[in-house]
Structure 1
């Protein structure tokens, strides 16, 4: 039975092969070449895909700790996460010896610069220590690089307030070839940096220390200035009678004139450089020892007449006429009929801007015709207010030049008024002015006036404390900033030009 079935099945298989063979030969034999090619390509793609899947499965990392070996070529590609940076700004490599733990994968290795070798100069912090003999040389070149050995510096060193004592304290013992100065009390001009603010020169700092710290003695003769006394700074060592000129002198004013100190710092910040150095000191010549402003006496100032305290005699009418003539502008020599003085045209613009911010009226408006004065104002006490009907005959006062430099003015008697309300500002001071100095206007526009005033006034410890510290100084700056905004509005409204005035 089995043999019969096997014999019967054999012919059936042969019949199936006989039927399939022609079809396979036809498919493979070239009657349909495109079908054969597609079949080969599909098979190859399937084999390659299987190979890729096997390789990816073999390369996947286990769930254990990461390998500690770095990349083969020493370069790590950018990843998503960042390691924590320690305070010293350094990072350890993952394969460096001595690391107890390795960094996690997917990090970026950051290379940071090392810390600065020198401390940053930050004002208001403890001054960094200076090393060895470079300290005195650094102070001598502070500010604007004033050369060592100027007459003012020699006077300051002779009075115990020179660079070796005032600029660097505790710098070491005596040095060979130098005079050992006696120990002195701490200066009230505090400087917590190796350099002074950029608007104060080296001579300015030395003058401030001399005014604030040097010993003084009152002189019997005094200049013809109301309420001011002449103060000889330092003790003469040669036994000769003390005189101003060989010895430095200063004007000691009343405690109510403390705005002179503010005026000096404002002048330097605005880049005008027309005021004399002024500092505060607790006066030993007043019964209560109240702080007083001390202004450096300059013997090079041109002599002034007794009636107006001016070296230039001008009435208000003549002053306005000279403004229209633009005397000495661009080197032009004025004609005699113009009525010009020796003062350059730009000097009046600087004075008007400075006087408006501080509301100083005793130079250009001696009769108080441009505002409502108080009973205690000088013009009211002297009965000058009714003379405003004839303003052209009013004489200008406190217009001072130097003997060797008649083209430029020196601003003296700079008592400002901070209690003048905005609706009572003296715009008469700006009358006839058609341009202002670019350096000063740029400071007013820069929004840095408050910061610079705080930084500059902080140097004078006595003045800072006499005004109530930071809170009192901020109130004064508020007044000046508001007047600066009013002045900028005035410039835009009247088309006043802003020009560089560096003649």
Structure 2
């Protein structure tokens, strides 16, 4: 029976019942019999209603199912992006069929909930301890791990009897054995035929090395680098420095995990001034959180004191050379300008990078441009009390390469994500009149979140250490808000956005 004929039949039946009820009610029948007839009629009407509802919800034709499925697929495709990376062994994809997908889909939400307040040096809540206690425990665990490693390797290296108080800021360097291919799954996850375009081939190769290769030997760095420990890979080449032979990596505290975030942000913005950095677990050290591992670059022009700079500058001198625009358009500055070898555009890149991450150790080591906390180094060392003469405050961590003195290299990029919008350090932007077009275009494109998620997904240990996407989204929320503030600052102060090609 078709739906039209069923509807006609139901209408006729209802009219017939109504006529019969009227005749029954108007006739001369006993009251009890009349009530019984009305009750039966009501039950019959209810049965008709139930049958009509069942017919209404019967399965539709197959073409309707296809339409709904297609609409759902269209919705998913409009709200997804692809994590597009290269194979772990760096080669092209095999054309043979595989059961594993070569693309990872991450669905983006339309709205973001307000993130919770988080520490700049992020760690899981279950590890919530004081900074000094965490550092001392890390130093003690590292010492135990080093002892086990030296015994297992039998390298003949002599223990140096280090005590835990020397590791108040524990930093290690690791080097792996670069010979041979990896026999285990890489911690740098790349699932397609190419890595994200902001990473170079050298970046991916170095990230895999730092994240996966075995540790061969551990050494203590001599002289002023006494707080550092090195792992070295054997190399027949002539040593490039007294600290490192071969390829090395500097291991920092778990509290400095924002160094990993800084490296990815640097590459996405097109600055390319920070050293490759990954997260790594150390199996020989018990109960220690993942640590950031940074490439040890022997070509850096490092001073004897690693906390200082390869170029001696005070804040007042820095402001003067900004006004002189040293080496702009390849023009050599006059001798009386006091210009260093650093190109003028390098300061703009550094200021933008430091503002987004709120890195203050380079341009504002005394914390004169914001309200510091008691945990900040400037407060612990009493430097925040010396802001009365800002023009004579030294800049720190201004580092160049020996063979390329025109460019800066960003080191010690520990950022702070818990600084509120009303306490941002705008002193970092003083004297800057131009910003790089490539970086500003990324901030304006509304693609920053998507690119950061793609980028962080490569580093498996970092992704998991931040509790997956949920924790990383909170960090990105902070950077996006600061990006909006920076763009407003650029418009309000008439700052130029210009190409700054190397």
- Which structure's relative contact order is higher, taking Cα pairs within 8 Å and 6+ residues apart? 2
Secondary structure, aligned partner of 1:395: coil
**Structure 1 residue 361 and structure 2 residue 360: aligned?**
yes
Please report how far the alpha carbon of residue 215 of structure 1 lies from its aligned counterpart in structure 2 after TM superposition.
Answer: 1.4
Decide whether aligned partners of structure 1 residues 224 and 361 sit closer, same or farther in structure 2, where only a CA change above 3 A counts: farther
Report the counterpart of residue 83 of structure 2 in structure 1. Answer: 123
Query: Normalising to structure 2: TM-score of the pair?
Result: 0.64
Higher helix share: 2
Please report how far the alpha carbon of residue 306 of structure 1 lies from its aligned counterpart in structure 2 after TM superposition.
Answer: 1.4
Report the counterpart of residue 179 of structure 2 in structure 1. Answer: 159
**Structure 1 residue 445 and structure 2 residue 405: aligned?**
no
Determine the C-alpha separation between the residues in 2 that align with 1:358 and 1:404: 28
Report the counterpart of residue 476 of structure 2 in structure 1. Answer: 477
Please report how far the alpha carbon of residue 310 of structure 1 lies from its aligned counterpart in structure 2 after TM superposition.
Answer: 1.0
Query: Normalising to structure 1: TM-score of the pair?
Result: 0.64
> Any conservation in 1 of the 2:230–2:244 contact (CA below 8 Å)?
no
> Any conservation in 2 of the 1:156–1:206 contact (CA below 8 Å)?
no
**Structure 1 residue 290 and structure 2 residue 289: aligned?**
yes
Report the counterpart of residue 220 of structure 2 in structure 1. Answer: 220
Secondary structure, aligned partner of 1:295: strand
> Any conservation in 1 of the 2:315–2:395 contact (CA below 8 Å)?
yes
Determine the C-alpha separation between the residues in 1 that align with 2:317 and 2:179: 45
Secondary structure, aligned partner of 2:249: strand
Determine the C-alpha separation between the residues in 2 that align with 1:220 and 1:226: 7
**Unmatched 5+ residue regions in structure 1?**
1-83, 88-120, 133-154, 166-183
> Any conservation in 2 of the 1:159–1:214 contact (CA below 8 Å)?
no
CA RMSD after TM alignment:
3.0
Please report how far the alpha carbon of residue 305 of structure 1 lies from its aligned counterpart in structure 2 after TM superposition.
Answer: 4.0
Report the counterpart of residue 30 of structure 2 in structure 1. Answer: none
**Unmatched 5+ residue regions in structure 2?**
1-62, 67-80, 97-174
Note the alpha carbon deviations across 1:385-440, whole angstroms, 9 max, x for none.
Answer: 11100101100000000000000000000000001111110000000000000000
Determine the C-alpha separation between the residues in 1 that align with 2:337 and 2:422: 36
Report the counterpart of residue 321 of structure 1 in structure 2. Answer: 320
Which protein has the larger Cα radius of gyration, Structure 1 or Structure 2?
Answer: 1
Aligned pair count? 343
Determine the C-alpha separation between the residues in 1 that align with 2:190 and 2:441: 26
Report the counterpart of residue 268 of structure 2 in structure 1. Answer: 269
Note the alpha carbon deviations across 1:154-203, whole angstroms, 9 max, x for none.
Answer: x9894335xxx5xxxxxxxxxxxxxxxxxx22111110111000000110
Determine the C-alpha separation between the residues in 2 that align with 1:285 and 1:389: 48
Determine the C-alpha separation between the residues in 1 that align with 2:354 and 2:226: 19
* Superposition map of 1:380-391 within 5 A: 380-391=379-390
Decide whether aligned partners of structure 1 residues 219 and 304 sit closer, same or farther in structure 2, where only a CA change above 3 A counts: same
Decide whether aligned partners of structure 1 residues 477 and 224 sit closer, same or farther in structure 2, where only a CA change above 3 A counts: farther
Secondary structure, aligned partner of 1:279: strand
> Any conservation in 2 of the 1:231–1:252 contact (CA below 8 Å)?
no
Secondary structure, aligned partner of 2:389: helix
